[in-house]
Structure 1
Amino acid sequence: MTTPTTAVSTEKAPASAVGVFAWIRSQLFSSPINSLLTILSVWLLLATVPAMVDWFLINANATASTADECRKSTGACWAMIVEKHRLILFGLYPYDEQWRPLIATGILVASIILSGWRKLWNMWLLALWTVSLAAVAVLMWGGVFGLTYVENSQWGGLPLTLILSTFGIALAFPLGIVLALGRRSNMPAIKSICVVYIELVRGVPLISLLFMSAVMLPLFLPEGMNIDKLLRAQIAIILFAAAYMAETIRGGLQAIPKGQFEGADSLGLSYWQQMRLIVLPQALKIVIPPLVGLFIALFKDTSLVVIIGIFDLTQAAKVALTDQAWRGFSVEVYIFISAIYFVFCYSMSKYSQSLEKRLSTGHER
């Protein structure tokens, strides 16, 4: 007995419906407006990219020994960065001792990278940071193991920016969680204190807090008592960031269904057990994107400490530009520090995206 065969169509889709040309037509020329925008974008790229490549690379000078020699070229003067890179990266730290902040920077960066490894999300991570911060303190301050003592007034550049942002994020995060829980508390006194603190801090710019910590705070201290300027700036950054993180985390807490709280109550868990084991893990997963956005903003906002005379990366770059022999190359210097900021900020952004995928938050639309 034979079975009927089914005819299989061998017709191919027209070339205009598949392939590169189909993609170009559907994505770039699908409507008159899209066609116009595509043409304008191509024109803008053709007008700017060749000139930028010419200025950045082709006609750039990275080997000039003097500024006058560099001015003869029509491109960027990267020789300025070669000449001043140590001042930009390490500020006023003693020249012969700059290997110490270099190693300290490497330790901080390595610790941050290892913190993203989920297998270390236990007591090993606490031990790692304890050892790392102790090593950074020894390297930066010195005074032990035969290292020359260096006051923190001489710290500057990239290591100081990393120290301010790392401590700012690490200490503001738990404080923000406490403030968020306090604002949702049923106890009126605690709730009122948290609300007043959050709204007061969020109602003023970071510059004003830094100015008050540097100028106004010493006026209220007892006579003979003094708090280091760098420490005052660090405290201002932590308090400022915590208020913003508190509101972000509170949004995550409000997004948790009521059934999660009721289920935790049915298990007989205490309030802190509910928060630690059930509610906070879910709330923090929901607010990963805005939290990382705050981390990136805080990393960039550390540049505001220039107003109180702290030599972070931006202030160190400004100092490098004061050299009369190399005046007129500010664009190259700011491009250099912008690239540094971009590398760190972009890395945080990409890590947050990978973390969202690994944790499978389930809130995609």
Structure 2
Amino acid sequence: MTVHDASWVRQTMVAASERPSAATGVWLWARNNLFNGWLSTVLTLVSLIAIGWGMLSIGPWLGNSVWNASSVNECRQAMNGAPGACWAVIRDRWTQLFFGFYPAHLYWRPVIAFALLFAALAPVLFTALPRRMIWFSILYPGVAFWLIWGGSLWSPALAYLGFIIGFGLFASLARVNMGLATAAAVIGAATWWIGATGPLTSQLSAIAPIDLQTVASRDIGGFLLSIVIGVAGIAMSLPLGMLLALGRRSGMPLIRTMSVVYIEFIRGVPLITLLFTASLLLNYFLPPGTNFDLILRVVIMVTLFAGAYMAEVIRGGLAALPRGQYEAAEALGLDYWKAHRLIILPQALKISIPGIVNSFIGLFKDTTLVMFIGLMDPIALAGAIRANTDWQGIYWELYIFIGAVFFAFCFGMSRYSMYLERRLKTDHR
């Protein structure tokens, strides 16, 4: 008898059995993440009790919601004395929360500007799109300004021409001297904007009028105001922060000292102080009769404030790079600007993505501080709505709605930063 004929030798393989139910799916995830130790189990049970208590407390209030009413008294009558949420105030005043006192028949203009914002951001945020679309991203600020504020289209067009003049002067003199090229570009563009833009706009408007109804800045409010200030501050604070970070690490004592003084001064002063400066004190330093738009002043101050914090975030990324990266750039024969543009800054920015996005989120939420200088942001509009006799007594519904909208924007930025980190990840850990 051979070994293979022995009764104790298996002749066929046993079919694979399914894993126990406790070792698959939800049960496995719960055991590994919620009940993987006594401390985790206690925290899970306490959390479940807190969530259950919250649902039992808030559930009846949400379940007795009223959506159709024209005043808080109608809401209370529909609730029959029981506690409940009066969401009718959102339905009645949502346009005011989003647009402020913007003329109702012109709502289509900020809506189009907001839709075009995504088209302008797409080629910047996603590399799969054609790079030639970046031209629309460059032109978008002028288009958005014209749509929201109105006036003549020639005004933003001539403003862009100032940038072209400055770039032309810089490109023509850059090979001679970088400092001279930069000074010539700034002086040339500023001279064009101050001396030529106004008269030429009037002349071109008389010859070929391309105008939209003008909307005053005092009528712009709500989430429209927060988005304008937030997007403008985010777009301009990043390049300003990069320049300040490079200036703080510069080997030239004057540039380094100026950058350090600026960053430390801005970081030591509250944002609300700078906003009051923009609102009240700045006019004292301007020539008599100068009309400097308040929203523009706020955007400038917010940009200067955020740029200082952005500089420190980027400086941390620069400090995290090994010295070998700088030596490699020098070995390739690259000058200072090419080395930072092609090798140093891309890596430093990748390292700094979490801090950069965190600063962006904080900047967007800080736009609510403009209520203290008289601008009607969503929080200020909520107070104005509550002051109306029809909606006196409304409190939680307005702030919950405003918080939910801010959360949607901030959560979107957070998720994109996570996507960007995964896309740019080059290690295999």
TM-score in terms of structure 1 length: 0.90
**What residue number does 1:176 align with?**
241
Alignment of 1:241-260 (within 5 A): 241-260=306-325
User: Is residue 269 of structure 2 the alignment partner of residue 204 of structure 1?
Assistant: yes
The structure-2 alpha-carbon separation of the partners of 1:61 and 1:316, relative to structure 1 and needing over 3 Å to count, comes to same
User: Is residue 76 of structure 2 the alignment partner of residue 68 of structure 1?
Assistant: no
CA distance in 2 between partners of 1:148 and 1:17 (Å): 67
**Structure 1 residue 113, shift from structure 2 partner:** 4.4
**What residue number does 1:225 align with?**
290
**What residue number does 2:255 align with?**
190
Q: Tell me, what secondary structure is at the counterpart of 1:62?
A: coil
Structure 1: unaligned runs, 5 residues or longer:
none
**Structure 1 residue 63, shift from structure 2 partner:** 1.2
- Tell me whether 27-36 or 250-259 shows the greater mean CA deviation: 27-36
**Structure 1 residue 162, shift from structure 2 partner:** 1.1
- Tell me whether 193-202 or 309-318 shows the greater mean CA deviation: 309-318
Alignment of 1:77-116 (within 5 A): 77-116=86-125
**Structure 1 residue 26, shift from structure 2 partner:** 4.7
Q: In structure 2, which of residues 122, 133, 136 is the aligned counterpart of residue 124 of structure 1? A: 133
The structure-2 alpha-carbon separation of the partners of 1:3 and 1:142, relative to structure 1 and needing over 3 Å to count, comes to farther
Conserved in 2, the CA contact under 8 Å of 1:105 and 1:158?
A: no
**Structure 1 residue 268, shift from structure 2 partner:** 0.9
User: Is residue 39 of structure 2 the alignment partner of residue 33 of structure 1?
Assistant: yes
Q: Tell me, what secondary structure is at the counterpart of 1:186?
A: coil
**Structure 1 residue 21, shift from structure 2 partner:** 4.8
**Structure 1 residue 299, shift from structure 2 partner:** 0.7
CA distance in 1 between partners of 2:219 and 2:372 (Å): 16
Letter in 1 for 2:136: L
Q: In structure 2, which of residues 363, 366, 369 is the aligned counterpart of residue 301 of structure 1? A: 366
User: Is residue 422 of structure 2 the alignment partner of residue 357 of structure 1?
Assistant: yes
User: Is residue 334 of structure 2 the alignment partner of residue 269 of structure 1?
Assistant: yes
Q: In structure 1, which of residues 308, 317, 326 is the aligned counterpart of residue 382 of structure 2? A: 317
**Structure 1 residue 64, shift from structure 2 partner:** 1.8
**What residue number does 1:44 align with?**
50
The structure-2 alpha-carbon separation of the partners of 1:266 and 1:114, relative to structure 1 and needing over 3 Å to count, comes to closer
Which whole-Å deviations, capped at 9, do the CAs of 1:106-148 have from their partners, x for residues lacking one? 22244334532213484532x2123332332222122355632
CA distance in 1 between partners of 2:52 and 2:22 (Å): 29
CA distance in 2 between partners of 1:263 and 1:196 (Å): 31
CA distance in 2 between partners of 1:122 and 1:251 (Å): 30
Which whole-Å deviations, capped at 9, do the CAs of 1:178-217 have from their partners, x for residues lacking one? 1100111111111000000001101111111111111122
CA distance in 2 between partners of 1:93 and 1:17 (Å): 59
**Structure 1 residue 356, shift from structure 2 partner:** 0.6
The structure-2 alpha-carbon separation of the partners of 1:164 and 1:25, relative to structure 1 and needing over 3 Å to count, comes to closer
Q: Tell me, what secondary structure is at the counterpart of 1:61?
A: coil
Conserved in 1, the CA contact under 8 Å of 2:123 and 2:133?
A: no
Letter in 2 for 1:67: V
Conserved in 2, the CA contact under 8 Å of 1:88 and 1:320?
A: no
CA distance in 2 between partners of 1:262 and 1:26 (Å): 46
Letter in 1 for 2:388: D
Which whole-Å deviations, capped at 9, do the CAs of 1:284-329 have from their partners, x for residues lacking one? 1111111011011111111111111112232223222221111111
Moved over 6 A (4+): 2-14
Structure 2: unaligned runs, 5 residues or longer:
153-209
Conserved in 2, the CA contact under 8 Å of 1:104 and 1:159?
A: no
User: Is residue 217 of structure 2 the alignment partner of residue 152 of structure 1?
Assistant: yes
Letter in 2 for 1:133: P
Compare CA radii of gyration and give the structure with the larger one: 2
Q: In structure 1, which of residues 119, 130, 140 is the aligned counterpart of residue 148 of structure 2? A: 140
- Tell me whether 333-342 or 221-230 shows the greater mean CA deviation: 221-230
Identity value in percent: 43
CA distance in 1 between partners of 2:427 and 2:3 (Å): 48
Task: Give aligned pairs, total.
Answer: 361
CA distance in 2 between partners of 1:111 and 1:313 (Å): 25
- Tell me whether 349-358 or 134-143 shows the greater mean CA deviation: 134-143
CA distance in 2 between partners of 1:116 and 1:40 (Å): 41
**Structure 1 residue 233, shift from structure 2 partner:** 0.7
Q: In structure 1, which of residues 18, 24, 30 is the aligned counterpart of residue 23 of structure 2? A: 18
Q: In structure 2, which of residues 305, 312, 317 is the aligned counterpart of residue 240 of structure 1? A: 305
